[in-house]
Chain A
């Protein structure tokens, strides 16, 4: 009804449309009265983390996506590309993190074409926080943004309401406490690359084994000046077991007693041609 009036008098605008909110609220109330649940959004229920080491950044993430109590995706990719030197891990609602990182990646590409410079991590951070604040937390995307630009390596954590922190090591997601415990114990300034990778791998593993929302494999992304190593999977912590028994029977297990072959005589009885009516 409301849509009809807008198109009658004024041209349509793009962007979010709030027409169905009231109807959805009514539907939700009805469904709850009957005792059912409306379908929930797919969340990443995650462990993501990042650490700054001597030459750059190591980002890590698990690969489980959940939908309520069910695992929706056993091997989803949570480390998103933002620009050749900047990558972003996303926790929260899976669709929100995907779309947000893609939009910011496009904007950053346009911006870098316009300035003809490699984009900076601070730019991506500013764009993300301004967008998330505009939508007041309704976009459920908690992000760990890391990259190396002309000023060195930078690591930011961005919360769904738009606040950001610039730190040497950050964790986000439901498994963030488990991962942070590992970081707090073993983080040192100016680590080597192998130490940093091992530290992130252990932090994600702590999240995977101690948090129900995280699981499956560990993905790593190592960003240094001029080189990005996207290691997917870096470590398959939860490999599905291999069946030890085989229930197939060998050929010749069943003995043949008799064999009789009956030939079926098929002869052409009638042949008709039906023309299509193409008039």
Chain B
């Protein structure tokens, strides 16, 4: 069985690079955008579930695509990922709230409710992104 696609993101028992902060120009840490750094803060996650929650959707998708590939062949996950990529492009500018309706319908999230819908709803967040910087980040100009 092809297990290459099943490799999930690492867990929090070992210091990992997933916690790293943003690197700015010249490979030095970006104080302006990510604030002052501290080795202890970046090395270990603050909660046992932090890493696993950050990568949960990714790991689920990897597992599902790998299963699909083993059962139906390579074309199945390929076609699905193509549709996901197309649906992901239907959204508003990054600082505005997009509904992700097409993407949710494809993934089946429109028929389930989880903590992502109840806690920390992004449409109700008190902080708003700075439009220019978010656009630059999205277009890769930063």
Which A positions have Cβ atoms within 8 angstroms of B?
A: 1-5, 7-19, 21-22, 25, 99, 103, 106-107, 110-111, 114, 131, 134-136, 138
Contacts and interface: CB of A to CB of B under 8 A. Distances in A.
Nearest to A11: B94
A15 B114 CA distance: 8
B129 A11 contact: yes
B103 to A, nearest CB: 14
A11 B34 CA distance: 15
Interface in B95-142: 95, 111-122, 125, 127-130, 133-134, 137, 142
A83 to B, nearest CB: 14
The bracket for how many chain B residues form the interface is 35 or more
A13 B116 contact: yes
Given A9-B22, A12-B122, A14-B120, A138 B113 contact: no
B112 A107 contact: yes
Given A7-B127, A7-B128, A9-B134, A14 B48 contact: no
16 contacts: A7-B125, A8-B33, A9-B33, A9-B129, A10-B134, A10-B137, A12-B125, A14-B117, A14-B118, A14-B120, A15-B116, A16-B53, A21-B46, A110-B112, A110-B113, A114-B111
Given A2-B35, A9-B134, A136 B49 contact: yes
A107 B76 CA distance: 27
A16 B115 contact: yes
A4 B35 contact: yes
Contacts of B53: 15-16, 18
Given A14-B120, A110-B112, A136-B49, 18 more contacts: A2-B35, A4-B35, A5-B33, A5-B34, A7-B127, A9-B134, A11-B94, A13-B116, A13-B122, A14-B115, A14-B118, A14-B121, A17-B120, A18-B49, A18-B50, A111-B112, A134-B52, A135-B49
A25 B56 CA distance: 24
Contact of A16 (B120, B130, B133, B137): B120
B64 interface: no
A15 B128 CA distance: 18
Contacts of B41: 22
Given A106-B113, A107-B113, A11 B47 contact: no
A13 B98 CA distance: 12
B47 A9 contact: no
Contacts of A15: 53, 114-116, 119-120
A144 to B, nearest CB: 23
Contacts of A134: 52, 56
B88 to A, nearest CB: 13
B45 interface: yes
Interface in B53-71: 53, 56
A9 B136 CA distance: 9
Contacts of A17: 119-120
